[in-house]
Amino acid sequence: MAATPALQVLTANRLRDGDVVYWRNGAWVDHFRDADLFDSKASADAALAAAQAFVKGRVVVNPYLFGVRNEAGRLRAIEEREIVRSQGPSIRRDLGKQVMDSFDVQI
Amino acid sequence: MYRYDEFDAQFVKERVAQFRYQVERRLAGELTEDEFKPLRLMNGLYLQLHAYMLRVAVPYGTLSGKQLRMLAHIARKYDKGYGHFTTRTNIQFNWIKLVDVPDILADLASVEMHCIQTSGNCIRNVTADQFAGATDEEIEDPRPLSEIIRQWSSLHPEFVFLARKFKIAVGATEKDRAALLFHDMAVQIVKNAEGRTGYKVYAGGGMGRTPYIAQVMREFVEREDILAYLEAVLRVYNQDSRRDNIHKQRIKILVNAVGIEEMRKRADREFVEIKANGTLQLPQEELDRIAAYFAPPAFEVLSNEEPTSLDPTFKNWLSQNVSKHRAPGYAIATISLKPIGGVPGDATAEQMDALAELLDEYGMAEIRVSHEQNLVLPHARKKDLPAIYKKLKALHLATPNAGLVTDIIACPGLDYCDLANARSIPIAQDIARRFENLDRQHDIGELKIKISGCVNACGHHHAGHIGILGVDKKGVEYYQLQLGGSGAEDASIGDIMGPGFTAHDIGPAVERVVDTYVKLRHNGERFLDTYRRVGMEPFKNMAYLEQMYAAH
């Protein structure tokens, strides 16, 4: 089994429209840049457990954690899949979340 | 075109009402996601990376202008202004909201469309030759039988819980434009030694993780027996398929595990029993009744003269995208959805509306979707072709590349798809740009590049003359090259070349492979022919050349 990444973010899709959302302080936000960053397994797992209430409450489906890394002062998802989810299709820069802002997060 | 009868209309209407209620119950918390998922999949609704994706069935790839307009309307009202035509000849919308889906299904039903049999472990939407009813090569139009199979399969009580999805295609020519041999089951309309028309049935083909080419189950099935025989094969599959292992659930695994002889025996036993019951005989009158819906338009008596135009680019399009029609003065025109640097298979709402207008203006009742993700005007008057071309050109729909190296099949890949491991579309775009020069494309000739973003092979990479499979290596996209596949009548599965290339290196590697072909080919040889003659080695040596230099 792969080791748990050092830094994680919690994500899900909103039930009503399927939009990608991120966990922040006990609620869901639209952008990766606003997401809570978990630097311990315990805090990440606690958030994931808390997210189950939103599954039951029909707000989101399929919450899960994904790994991010600090790349020259910017946070980036480790997997390409999460980069695409947080931005939109790479071949349509006019669509998806990338239209509102850039994906990279300055820290 | 097929028109719904009362039963069809009621069935689709009821399904809309059922799904509306199911969505309400899901939103009210009466259904969990686990309970709801199979219900939404029964209506073609997936949850992808950015949103829900709705897959709309285009049975046997045939659309009327009215239906095309409705697809444009849906793209505009409920999506982001475009749709994606797939290798199953369906159309997918990428940005759908769950709450809108009941209204979308109602809109679709108003033009006799739906999303039934586009997902889940059922007999899927039947596909057919996109030149059906128009080509002079066919024995008869394969769509009436496709529709009969649709009617037999839609609500078949025995086959609503298959181990896995089941795909059927129907063709009626020697030339296979529908990738018949890569289907779970395929029917080829043939004539026997006495000149009687009947059906050759294949089973056990498929792509995915374990690709197989379909084998002949029966050389000749009489017309009235076809449903009985298809049912017999399905019964064997339904009873004997492995339900314990998701990678072994398709009929291709069963056929290859027990052997074709044993499959034939098992199917024959069922066939005898079904025939004895006499319930599944297909009377000629019924076949005729359905065939009448697909009657060709009343062809005018026209000059068969080749059209001319002052536009010098028209000639390229005419020679590459226009095919011979059965009626003098008519032609089959392929509308390429592969503009250089575009997204293979995508069409905007404006393009769909404009095409519907084009159909009306030139007296054409229908348009077709091909598994190669293009559209086809099956019955265009030759004399109208210059004007049609001019309009297509203005719509960016006149790329003269049908069957050429830039006519690339690509699945949505990691740009949209939840299952994908790697992106497909940017790779297709990069390759198309490399070969943009039309003279070079013509010099290369027929070359089918097919790209999938995961092993599920929606992009038919196993059947590509050059196939590309995207894989994930620790979160980074890599691309494996396969050579020598074919989805045509000379079907073959591509051979894997070796280690994968990065997204940056795959385009140049493909270019070196194509250049190697150009150097090695004999007169008149296609890429595929040269590969079959010389094998992998010379291509492999050249493909990895740069990397070898880099390594030393």
Q: Which of A9-18, A93-102, B197-206, B333-342 has the lowest mean pLDDT?
A: A93-102
Q: Say how far apart CA B486 and CA B489 lie, in whole Å.
A: 8
Q: Provide the pLDDT for residue B1.
A: 85
Is some CB atom of chain A closer than 8 A to the CB atom of B425?
yes
From the list A17, A78, A91, the residue facing B343 with the nearest CB is A91
The per-residue pLDDT for range B371-389, each reduced to its tens digit, is: 999 999 999 999 999 999 9
Q: Give DSSP secondary structure letters for B469-482.
A: EEEEETTEEEEEEE
Cβ distance A84 to B415 less than 8 Å, yes or no, reads: yes
Of all residues in chain B, what percent carry a pLDDT higher than 70?
Answer: 99
Residues of B within 8 A of A55 (CB-CB) are 33
Q: Provide the pLDDT for residue A2.
A: 60
Terminal-residue alpha carbon distance, chain B = 62
**Residue keyed to tokens 């041999």:** B181
Terminal-residue alpha carbon distance, chain A = 30
For residue A106, is pLDDT > 50?
Answer: no
Mutate to test the interface with B, among A84, A94, A103 (most CBs of B within 10 A): A84
Between B249 and A101, the more confident residue is B249
Average pLDDT over residues A9-16: 98
Residues of B within 8 A of A64 (CB-CB) are none
Q: Which of B98, B255, B59, B206 is nearest to A59 (CA)?
A: B98
For residue A103, is pLDDT > 70?
Answer: no
Q: Which tokens hold the place of B85?
A: 């035509």
Average pLDDT over residues A18-25: 98
Residues of chain B with pLDDT under 70: 546-552
Q: Provide the pLDDT for residue A73.
A: 85
Q: Which of B455, B450, B430, B409 is nearest to B509 (CA)?
A: B430
Q: Say how far apart CA B218 and CA B412 lie, in whole Å.
A: 36
Size of interface A-B (CB pairs under 8 A): 76
Q: Which of B536, B547, B541 is nearest to B478 (CA)?
A: B547
Residues of B within 8 A of A62 (CB-CB) are 33, 47
Q: Say how far apart CA B43 and CA B518 lie, in whole Å.
A: 47
Q: Provide the pLDDT for residue A72.
A: 86
Is some CB atom of chain A closer than 8 A to the CB atom of B346?
no
Instruction: Quote the mean pLDDT of chain A.
Output: 91
Mutate to test the interface with A, among B25, B30, B31, B50 (most CBs of A within 10 A): B50
Q: Provide the pLDDT for residue A28.
A: 98
Phi-psi category of residue A60: left, alpha or beta, with phi > 0 → left and psi -120 to 50 → alpha? beta
Mutate to test the interface with B, among A87, A91, A94 (most CBs of B within 10 A): A91
Q: Say how far apart CA B149 and CA B160 lie, in whole Å.
A: 15
Give the chain B residue whose CA is nearest to the CA of A67: B475
Q: Provide the pLDDT for residue B549.
A: 57
Q: Say how far apart CA B448 and CA B531 lie, in whole Å.
A: 13
Is some CB atom of chain A closer than 8 A to the CB atom of B477?
yes
Cβ distance B414 to A13 less than 8 Å, yes or no, reads: no
Q: Provide the pLDDT for residue B166.
A: 96
Cβ distance B51 to A17 less than 8 Å, yes or no, reads: yes
- Provide the shortest C-alpha distance from residue B97 to chain A (in Å): 4
Model ipTM value: 0.92
- Provide the shortest C-alpha distance from residue A4 to chain B (in Å): 13
Cβ distance A84 to B423 less than 8 Å, yes or no, reads: yes
Listed in sequence order, the residues at least 6 apart from B486 whose beta carbon sits closer than 8 Å to its beta carbon are B448, B463, B465, B492, B528
